[in-house]
Amino acid sequence: MTLRESATFDRPTIAAIQRAAETGVYDIRGWGAKRSVPHFDDLLFLGASLSRYPLEGYRERCGTDVVLGGRHATAPLHLDIPVTIAGMSFGSLSAQAKEALGRGASEMGTSTTTGDGGMTPEERGQSRTLVYQYLPSRYGMNRDHLHAADAIEVVLGQGAKPGGGGMLLGQKIGDRVAAMRTLPAGIDQRSACRHPDWTGPDDLAIKILELREITDWRPPVYVKIGATRAYYDVKLAVAAGADVVVVDGMQGGTAATQEVFIEHVGIPILAALPQAVQALRELGVHRTVQLVVSGGIRTGADVAKAMAMGADAVAIGTAALIALGDNAPRYAADYAALGSAAGFYDFQDGRDPAGITTQDPELAARLDPVEGGRRVANYLRVLTQEAQTLARACGKAHLRNLEPEDLVALTVEAAAMARVPLAGTTWIPGT
Amino acid sequence: MCGIVGLHLRDPELHPCLGRLLTSMLAGVAERGPDSAGVAVYGDRRRCPEGYAAVSLLDAPPDLPVPGALVTEAGDTTVVAAPLPVEELLAAVTGARVVGAGTEVTIYKGTGRPLDLARTYDLADARGWQGLAHTRMATESQVTAEGCHPFSVGPDQCLVHNGSFANHASIRRELVAAGVAFDSENDSEVGARFVAARLAAGEDLDKALRALCERFDGFYTLLVTSADGFAVVRDAIACKPAVIAETPRWVAMASEFRALAELPGIDDARIWEPEPERVYAWQW
Ligand SMILES: Cc1cc2nc3c(=O)[nH]c(=O)nc-3n(C[C@H](O)[C@H](O)[C@H](O)COP(=O)(O)O)c2cc1C
């Protein structure tokens, strides 16, 4: 007799029910959605041929720079590449990891971002351009750090958990993390899911003005949202005064969140991006208020496709950690000892053998920030070169000149979400 | 994929020869664009008398309600000249497809072999102080009279393009959002509308074309003319051919030198290949 697995009650589902029944607690994990969702892989570029001309790879310029925040800020950010490092807290990451991200980003002329836990001297010191997050938890928030920031990112939500707050399990709350957050060490911590300083866009506008006054209108103010009602949220963020809007798709990474949240709330970045662009266009501020998108960016193709759909830049979280050495096969035995495996480790547990998502001093010491920085820079370089390869193939002398008309979709779903035609047709579902 | 020629006559003695010179220039680029051809003639007082305005129309309805108008048909194109201000004449021909308007310029477009079209337009007989012609091999739009260059979207303005823009869809969207209406799907029209918006905002050709270089990606050799200007610009790679020649009696440009070879005094002309992303503008 052949065994037949149920599609509805597949093995992970059965295991989850068993785990719930045994422990009585819901599952908390890091990483992002593990289910398959329509993504940039479902899009293809129309390269140049006879009606258009491609550019030559090594000889002909294909610019990659981007300016973020010129709408109101007097000191907008000038980045050499449109790939930035997303906010990941000190706490979820080791100080070494934060420093390494800063080193890698700086080498490539791009920005890195603090996170839900404040600014460390290591990352400030090694980051040429540092975006400082202002979050519902307000952990580590202080005036000096606002002044030390090159930009301020007001975080309303995250793609992995729109409507939810941060989580950090007790094993990651060492003395230093606890002191920065003014919380007891070793105890699970849940950040606020909504900001105490505002209840809606009207108060947010006041908050943003306050931040501008404190910083003398110098650094740009970003607003980061988790992708849900992206069309309205982007419009409201602009109305509240944002210089830059960051939209994080549902597949975006997180340090730790309820599994049910990660898999069931929010919309994929492919669906959110056209909504965001539409909102900006309708307000007449597309390209004036820059759009940064994140959630599942892995390759230069993802970068190029996001930009073709209208993003000005992208942010990476999970991929940057992998570049640093996270989930590396050389730690296979250690991952196995944790009941995980290289390629499956989810960040939340705090005993990261690669020394990245941990506060354990011995484990953290495994990560050399200089070597880690070199790896991050290498990875950013490859992402950029891959994006340039595609842009040149489409005849663009700058990444920002990619456009939705350069794209087609492989599936009806992706065509409808991305609002580009199904390959080989002129059909955009819904139009 | 296309051929361009343009001639600005500084010496009034040459004005009666404009059409003959332009026809020989057109012959020099005919093979580059066998689909269709368009022509613009500036200052031919038989086509647009002093104190008149002229509009060039495609598929004009048989009886246009313009009293006192001078109507000439040339293949697909109908030129209507009347002793009215340009705006009034335009208002009088609403409904027809306008492909050019002004007090100096008359424009002709059509599909077919370029030299046959030159005869249809009676080009050899044209007089005036400036003219240009374009022969087209269509890329991403259909072979129609509407798709022909020059694109004339502002009074007495013309733009002819050889190449293809790579980000025209985005710029079109921006212009549409700013209230600009388009007649065709053609990428070159986006260039023409962009320049027209700049000129309308008070910029000169030099400034407008510099802005175009900043904003437009892809390949282009452009010739842009107006009632008081003649300008040439090429993309950063200068991929599409162009040559400029200048003498005290005229300024000329063409996709290929052979189109200039029969101009009077060519042997003593200053002849050069325009540099990438440099605007060559003559304004008077
Ligand atoms: C370990 C980790 C920690 C994170 N911490 C924060 C945080 O403190 N604040 C925040 O806004 N987002 C945080 N994020 C989300 C990222 O900023 C970003 O939105 C997400 O990682 C993008 O998706 P990606 O991981 O697929 O690139 C975190 C993500 C990870 C993986």
- If we measure between CA atoms, which residue out of B46, B41, B153 comes closest to residue B104? B41
Tokens, residue A427: 């059909």
Q: Is A395 on the interface with B (CB under 8 A)?
A: yes
A327 CB near ligand 1 (under 6 Å): no
Distance from CA of A395 to the nearest CA of B (A): 6
| 3-state SS, residue B221 | strand
Return the CATH number at A50.
3.20.20.70
- Sign, CA dihedral A394-A400-A406-A411, equals positive
CA atoms lying within 13 Å on the CB side of residue A323: 27
CB contact under 8 A, A401 and B167: yes
Distance from CA of A286 to the nearest CA of B (A): 9
CB contact under 8 A, A401 and B166: yes
**Residues sharing a CB contact under 8 Å with residue B166, sequence separation 6 or more, in sequence order:** A48, A52, A394, A395, A396, A397, A401, B217, B218, B219
A 20-59 residues with CB below 8 A of B?
Answer: 48, 50-53, 55
- Kindly report the average pLDDT of chain B as a whole number: 94
How are beta strands B218-226 and B229-234 bridged, if at all? antiparallel
The boundaries of the domain holding residue A179 are: 26-418
Report yes or no: A221 and A72 within 8 Å, Cβ to Cβ: yes
The predicted pLDDT at position B1 comes to 64
Burial tier of A171 (Cβ tally within 10 Å: 0-12, 13-18, 19+): middle
**Residue indicated by tokens 């613009």:** B40
- Going from the C-alpha of A196 to that of each of A160, A291, A389, the distances in angstroms are 21, 26, 45
Distance CA A197, CA A204 (A): 8
Q: Determine the distance separating the centroid of ligand 1 and the alpha carbon of B168, expressed in angstroms.
A: 35
Answer yes or no: is A9 within a domain: no
- If we measure between CA atoms, which residue out of A374, A381, A324, A370 comes closest to residue A122? A370
Question: ipTM of this predicted complex?
Answer: 0.87
A153 CB near ligand 1 (under 6 Å): no
Distance CA A218, CA A127 (A): 18
Distance CA A417, CA A411 (A): 10
Cis peptide before A201 (omega within 30 of 0): no
Answer yes or no: is A352 within a domain: yes
Q: How many domains does chain A have?
A: 1
How are beta strands B77-82 and B53-58 bridged, if at all? antiparallel
pLDDT tens, N- to C-terminus, chain A (431 residues): 899 999 999 999 999 999 999 999 999 999 999 999 999 999 999 999 888 889 998 889 999 999 999 999 999 999 999 999 999 999 999 999 999 999 999 999 999 999 998 999 999 999 999 999 999 988 989 999 999 999 999 999 999 999 998 888 888 899 999 999 988 999 988 888 998 888 888 999 999 999 999 999 999 999 999 999 999 999 999 999 999 999 999 999 999 999 999 999 999 999 999 999 999 999 999 999 999 999 999 999 999 999 999 999 999 999 999 999 999 999 999 999 999 999 999 988 899 999 999 999 999 999 999 999 999 999 999 999 999 999 999 999 999 999 999 999 999 999 999 999 999 999 999 98
Answer yes or no: is A14 within a domain: no
- If we measure between CA atoms, which residue out of A148, A284, A280 comes closest to residue A223? A280
**B7-31: b (≥16 Cβ within 10 Å) or e:** bbbeeeebbebbbbbbbbbbbbbbe
The CATH architecture assigned to B3-42+112-283 reads: 4-Layer Sandwich (3.60)
Q: Is A313 left (phi over 0), alpha (psi -120 to 50) or beta?
A: beta
Helix (H) or strand (E) holding A259: helix A259-264
pTM: 0.93
- If we measure between CA atoms, which residue out of A132, A219, A118 comes closest to residue A166? A118
For residue B178, the chain A residue with the least C-alpha distance is: A284
Distance from CA of A128 to the nearest CA of B (A): 28
Distance CA A408, CA A427 (A): 10
Tokens, residue B144: 């129609």
Q: At what angle do helices A230-239 and A201-214 cross, to 10 degrees?
A: 50
Among A254, A257, A318, A359, the mutation site with the greatest number of ligand 1 atoms within 8 A of its Cβ is A254
- Read off φ and ψ for residue A408, nearest 5 degrees: -135, 165
Tokens, residue A52: 């258009």
Ligand 1 atom nearest residue A159's Cα: 19
Report yes or no: B137 and B41 within 8 Å, Cβ to Cβ: no
The predicted pLDDT at position B181 comes to 95
Residues on chain B touching A396 (C-beta within 8 angstroms) = 166-167, 217
Residues on chain A touching B169 (C-beta within 8 angstroms) = 403-405
* B10-35 confidence digits (pLDDT tens): 999 999 999 999 999 999 999 998 88
pLDDT < 70 regions, chain B: 1
Give CA B137 to chain center in angstroms. Answer: 16
Answer yes or no: is A397 within a domain: yes
Q: Whose CA is nearest to atom 4 of ligand 1?
A: A88
B239-247 long-range Cβ contacts below 8 angstroms, 24+ apart: B239/A53, B239/B163, B240/B162, B240/B163, B241/B162, B242/B4, B242/B162, B242/B273, B242/B274, B243/B271, B243/B272, B243/B273, B243/B274, B244/B271, B244/B272, B244/B273, B244/B274, B244/B280, B245/B269, B245/B270, B245/B271, B246/B270, B246/B271
How are beta strands B2-9 and A313-316 bridged, if at all? unpaired
Q: Which residues of B are catalytic?
A: 2
Answer yes or no: is A425 within a domain: no
